[in-house]
């Protein structure tokens, strides 16, 4: 089993994550932001990751610190569980529709965290979740995990757009993290 456990405690947030990337999509998520809980649950379900998240933050200020730090902690958990990145597929991608929305996600577990995020949201918030934080979450996750992410979202309904992206991210990461004994380290350099 490929598992990791990561915690982060600051004056603004307290977050703990337990991750099993060889799971069956079972999750228990509590961030204090209902829509964000729903997104992280969808991510785990469609990525077949077992995920336990306990997070609190200064939500009386806004959701910025909690969502951004959640990206850092979840990214660190993925980076830790993938270790030397040997015997994985490395690349993954997904095109996931949700009604009128379509998310395209491409993943490279390269050891070089970088994010390209393209989306134009119409509303400032979905529930208690700021749509602008989606890009911050992705950037934090990419940097902390060492994973290259290229994400594009089209659509009219912000809920559908964000949800299709989290589902696509789960599917693309499931594809990229799958075991493949024939690959060794999936790089011509011999290391990632």
Instruction: Report, as an integer, the average pLDDT of 53-81.
Output: 98
Among 81-85, 154-158, 183-187, the minimum mean pLDDT is found in 183-187
- For the cut 90, the answer to whether the pLDDT of residue 166 exceeds it is yes
| Any domain includes 187 | no
Q: What is the pLDDT of residue 184?
A: 87
Give the whole-angstrom CA distance, residue 180 versus residue 89.
Answer: 6
| Any domain includes 126 | yes
Domain count for the chain, please give it: 1
Pairing, β 125-126 against β 13-20: unpaired
161's tokens: 């757009």
Give the whole-angstrom CA distance, residue 49 versus residue 28.
Answer: 11
- For the cut 90, the answer to whether the pLDDT of residue 83 exceeds it is no
| Any domain includes 139 | yes
The single residue listed with the structure tokens 């228990």 is: 28
For 63, the domain range is 3-177
Q: What is the pLDDT of residue 185?
A: 86
Instruction: Report, as an integer, the average pLDDT of 179-189.
Output: 88
| Any domain includes 190 | no
- For the cut 90, the answer to whether the pLDDT of residue 99 exceeds it is yes
| Any domain includes 185 | no
Instruction: Report, as an integer, the average pLDDT of 34-46.
Output: 98
50 vs 84, more confident: 50
145's tokens: 């995990």
33's tokens: 């932001």
CATH code (residue 135)? 3.30.230.40
- For the cut 90, the answer to whether the pLDDT of residue 187 exceeds it is no
């Amino acid at each position: 089993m490929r598992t990791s456990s990561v915690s982060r405690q600051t004056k603004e947030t307290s977050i703990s994550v337990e991750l099993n990337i060889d799971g069956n999509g079972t999750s228990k998520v509590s961030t204090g932001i209902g829509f964000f809980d729903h997104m992280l649950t969808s991510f785990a379900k469609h990525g077949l990751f077992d995920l336990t998240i306990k997070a609190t933050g200064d939500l009386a200020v806004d959701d910025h610190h909690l969502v951004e730090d959640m990206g850092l902690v979840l990214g660190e958990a993925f980076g830790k569980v993938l270790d030397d990145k040997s015997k994985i597929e490395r690349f993954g991608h997904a095109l996931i529709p949700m009604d009128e929305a379509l998310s395209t996600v491409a993943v490279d577990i390269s050891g070089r965290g970088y994010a390209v995020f393209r989306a134009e949201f119409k509303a400032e918030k979905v529930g208690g979740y700021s749509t602008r934080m989606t890009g911050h979450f992705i950037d934090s996750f990419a940097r902390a995990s060492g994973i290259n992410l290229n994400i594009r979202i089209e659509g009219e309904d912000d809920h559908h757009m964000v949800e299709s992206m989290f589902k696509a991210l789960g599917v693309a990461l499931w594809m990229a993290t799958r075991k493949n004994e024939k690959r060794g380290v999936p790089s011509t350099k011999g290391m990632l």
